[in-house]
């Protein structure tokens, strides 16, 4: 967290039960839409990670790294990597059952500034001391797979002793920008026993106690550390017991405060701007969950209430998790309900959620890949998916309209995947059927809209009362995008009399025309009256020239050619 946020001096959460600012559908007006594509399914071979729970990346490394909480087989978890083409490589397998052990069951993996990864594993035995087994570790892993157990929790070589007991079972781990790690432990024996500690290279990789939670539960139980600011103050949440617990602040100077007594959000996260967000699975106007924001001035407000489904199926209910991604933004997931889908959303600066996409499974974690793309993990089955941008197309207009052709203009943002673009056009406004398409063009991945155009062959279906309709169209593996439908009339040239010959009292008139239109030669003996008489029936022609003969030309006649469209 770059910006230090401040709570009220008395630690109270003012306006905590204020009226919800938004009700109903999650705002979804956005320039782009997103979808997901499953890229990899775990557990498909004997050494594949069967239960991945967290991902991490390192600058300059194109691989995605992760931890599996258990397996494969008799092993107790793995650390793995995925190449850019999603080939899995097992870097380390945990074996928790040897003396000193490696802890097993890893659930956190964090990328540090030194180029290595750090994490914790959790093995609950049921007692405080068991010198022959590990009850959790704090470990380091190099990108090439060299594993080092830096701290073994529980046994005689545990980190520190408090009240004749050693903390065991790590429950959370975070780090600040200087690679100081903050973690929590919890053990349930005869009494609750939980700690908040910090550890770094500066401490010789020896945990330093920040706070020992009260054994009587008056500070809550099962603490989870969530954020740390630039001053070394740690923030998190402890579960309520008998009304005690809530959001806590542990200052770098040793002070500890429950800043929201009696309230413990289901999940807590802070973005890179120092804004702290919390969620409740229930509560709100419909008891379907709400979002709380703690701003930089220390004001805590209910900023959003999840509501029932609307007609566009845009909303969701019952938020279940918040997390801070490596892009510094806070993302969230919902359970959904009977009539509402489970979705993934991103927090906006005003404290409201922006819906991104429907949850493709049960998303457990989100990360930003080395390529800058959002990726996610799902549970049951365990898969990795990428978040792809659906291409957007904009119909700009038409130019160079001629007798048999026109040039369509458009814009396309292909999004995260290469796209094919073209124009649909025809004389029908039925969007499910278009008579013609221009040849498809390939557009590479781009972050902004690019112009494209295409020449179209126009057939004589665009009659005077029937314009041509057209739209821009883009398609990629992520989905399709269509622009607005516009229309135009093609330019039909008027007939021009090119020559006339008189023979034996008859007059033959020649003129230029346009195929498939209807023409009739007409005459008048008095232009002042404006009376014109047709010579023969109006006839549809198939060529660019035609002629007709007036067998009773008389002494003085004026001629013209009338043009009309087929009925």
* 105 in the same domain as 221: yes
* 454 in the same domain as 538: no
Residue 420 inside a domain? The answer is yes
Higher pLDDT, residue 77 or 376? 376
Higher pLDDT, residue 316 or 524? 524
CB neighbour burial string for 260-287, b if at least 16 within 10 angstroms, e if fewer: bbebbbbbbbbbeebbbbbbbbebbebe
Q: List pLDDT tens digits, range 163-197.
A: 555 677 888 999 988 999 999 988 655 455 788 98
201: DSSP letter: G
Q: List pLDDT tens digits, range 262-274.
A: 778 889 998 887 7
* 435 in the same domain as 482: yes
Residue 418 inside a domain? The answer is yes
Q: What's the pLDDT at 130?
A: 43
* 268 in the same domain as 258: no
| ∠ CA 486-489-494, rounded to 5° | 170
* 157: alpha, beta or left? (left if phi > 0; alpha if psi -120 to 50): alpha
Share the mean pLDDT of the chain.
Answer: 82
Instruction: Name the domain count of the chain.
Output: 4
Residue 464 inside a domain? The answer is yes
Confidence of residue 125 (pLDDT cuts 50, 70, 90): very low
* 203 in the same domain as 240: yes
Quote the pTM value.
0.78
Confidence of residue 24 (pLDDT cuts 50, 70, 90): very low
Q: Convert 254-306 into a string of H (helix), E (strand) and C (coil).
A: CCEEECCCCECCCEEEECCCCCEEEEECCCCCCCCCEEEEECCCCCEEEEEEC
SS3 of residue 551 by DSSP? coil
Q: Which two tokens stand for residue 153?
A: 């929790």
What gap in Å lies between CA 507 and CA 527, rounded to an integer?
18
Q: What's the pLDDT at 234?
A: 86
Confidence of residue 396 (pLDDT cuts 50, 70, 90): very high
* 197 in the same domain as 278: no
Higher pLDDT, residue 254 or 48? 48
For the chain, what percent of residues have pLDDT higher than 90?
A: 42
Give the residue-averaged pLDDT of 129-152.
Answer: 78
Q: Which two tokens stand for residue 106?
A: 């890893």
Q: CATH number, domain at 154?
A: 2.120.10.30
* 114 in the same domain as 23: no
* 138 in the same domain as 125: yes
What gap in Å lies between CA 2 and CA 367, rounded to an integer?
20
Residue 3 inside a domain? The answer is yes
Give the residue-averaged pLDDT of 225-231.
Answer: 84
Answer whether residue 529 shows pLDDT above 70. Answer: yes
Residue 372 inside a domain? The answer is no
* 183 in the same domain as 318: no
Q: What's the pLDDT at 156?
A: 53
Residue 215 inside a domain? The answer is yes
| ∠ CA 212-237-16, rounded to 5° | 135
* 166 in the same domain as 118: yes
Last residue of one domain, picked from the residues 262, 277, 303: 262
Q: What's the pLDDT at 432?
A: 67
Report which of 312, 247, 309, 249 is spatially closest to residue 280, judged by C-alpha positions.
247
Backbone angles phi, psi at 201, to 5 degrees: -65, -30
* 442 in the same domain as 325: no
* 255 in the same domain as 271: no
Strand 244-250 relative to strand 192-199: parallel, antiparallel, unpaired? unpaired
Q: List pLDDT tens digits, range 46-97.
A: 888 888 999 999 999 999 999 998 878 777 889 999 999 999 999 999 876 5
Given 3-state DSSP classes, what are the helix, strand and coil percentages for the chain, each rounded to the nearest 5? 0, 50, 50
Residue 365 inside a domain? The answer is no
Q: What's the pLDDT at 158?
A: 53
Helices (H) and strands (E) in the chain, counts: 0, 43
Strand 147-152 relative to strand 137-141: parallel, antiparallel, unpaired? antiparallel
Report which of 561, 447, 441, 450 is spatially closest to residue 508, judged by C-alpha positions.
561
Report which of 472, 410, 466 is spatially closest to residue 437, judged by C-alpha positions.
472
Report which of 490, 484, 480, 486 is spatially closest to residue 515, judged by C-alpha positions.
490
- Is the C-alpha dihedral spanning 223, 224, 225, 226 positive or negative? negative
Q: List pLDDT tens digits, range 322-362.
A: 999 888 899 999 998 877 889 999 999 888 899 999 999 99
What gap in Å lies between CA 157 and CA 153, rounded to an integer?
8
Q: Which domain holds residue 258?
A: 47-262
Residue 281 inside a domain? The answer is yes
């Amino acid at each position: 967290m770059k910006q230090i946020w401040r709570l009220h001096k008395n630690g109270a959460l003012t306006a905590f039960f204020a009226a919800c600012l938004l009700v109903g559908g999650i705002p979804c007006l956005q320039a782009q839409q997103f979808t997901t594509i499953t890229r990899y399914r775990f557990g498909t071979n004997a050494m594949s990670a069967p239960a991945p729970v967290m991902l991490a990346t390192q600058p300059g490394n194109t691989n995605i790294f992760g931890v599996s909480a258990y397996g494969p087989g008799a092993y107790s978890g793995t650390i793995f990597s995925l190449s850019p083409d999603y080939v899995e490589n097992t870097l380390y397998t945990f074996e928790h059952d040897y003396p000193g052990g490696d802890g097993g069951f890893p659930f956190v993996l964090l990328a540090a500034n030194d180029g290595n990864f750090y994490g914790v594993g959790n093995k609950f035995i049921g007692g405080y001391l068991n010198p022959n087994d590990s009850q959790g570790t704090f470990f380091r892993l190099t990108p090439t797979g060299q594993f080092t157990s830096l701290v073994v929790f529980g046994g005689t070589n545990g980190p520190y002793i408090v009240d004749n007991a050693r903390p065991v079972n790590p429950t959370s781990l975070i780090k600040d920008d200087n690679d100081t790690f903050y973690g929590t432990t919890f053990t349930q024996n005869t009494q609750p026993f939980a700690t908040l500690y910090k550890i770094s290279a500066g401490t010789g990789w020896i945990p330093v106690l920040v706070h020992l939670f009260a054994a009587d539960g008056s500070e809550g139980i099962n603490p989870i550390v969530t954020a740390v600011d630039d001053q070394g103050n740690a923030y998190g949440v402890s579960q309520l017991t008998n009304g005690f617990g809530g959001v806590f602040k542990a200052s770098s100077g040793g002070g500890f405060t429950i800043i929201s007594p009696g309230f413990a959000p289901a999940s807590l996260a802070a973005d890179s701007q120092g804004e702290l967000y919390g969620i409740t699975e229930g509560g709100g106007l419909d008891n379907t969950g709400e979002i709380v924001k703690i701003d930089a001035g220390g004001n805590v407000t209910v900023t959003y209430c999840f509501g029932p489904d609307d007609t566009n199926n845009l909303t969701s209910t019952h938020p279940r998790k918040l997390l801070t991604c490596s892009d510094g933004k806070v993302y969230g997931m919902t359970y959904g309900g009977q009539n509402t889908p489970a979705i993934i959303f991103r927090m906006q600066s005003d404290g409201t959620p922006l819906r991104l996409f429907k949850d493709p499974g049960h998303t457990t974690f989100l990360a930003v890949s080395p390529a800058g793309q959002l990726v996610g993990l799902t549970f049951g089955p365990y898969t990795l998916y990428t978040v792809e941008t659906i291409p957007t197309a904009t119909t700009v207009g038409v130019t160079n309209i001629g007798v048999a052709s026109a040039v369509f203009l458009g814009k396309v943002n292909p999004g995260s995947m290469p796209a094919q673009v073209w124009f649909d056009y025809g004389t029908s406004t039925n969007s499910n059927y278009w008579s013609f398409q221009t040849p498809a063009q390939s557009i590479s991945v781009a972050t902004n809209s690019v112009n494209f155009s295409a020449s179209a062959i126009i057939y004589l279906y665009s009659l005077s009362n029937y314009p041509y309709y057209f739209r821009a169209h883009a398609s990629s593996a992520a989905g399709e995008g269509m622009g607005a439908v516009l229309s135009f009339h093609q330019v039909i040239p008027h007939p021009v009399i090119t020559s006339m010959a008189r023979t034996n009292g008859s007059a033959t008139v020649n003129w230029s025309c346009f195929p498939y239109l209807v023409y009739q030669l007409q005459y008048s003996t008095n232009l002042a009256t404006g009376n014109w008489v047709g010579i023969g029936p109006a006839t549809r022609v198939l060529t660019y020239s035609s002629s007709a003969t007036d067998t009773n030309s008389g002494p003085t006649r004026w001629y013209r050619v009338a043009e009309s469209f087929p009925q």
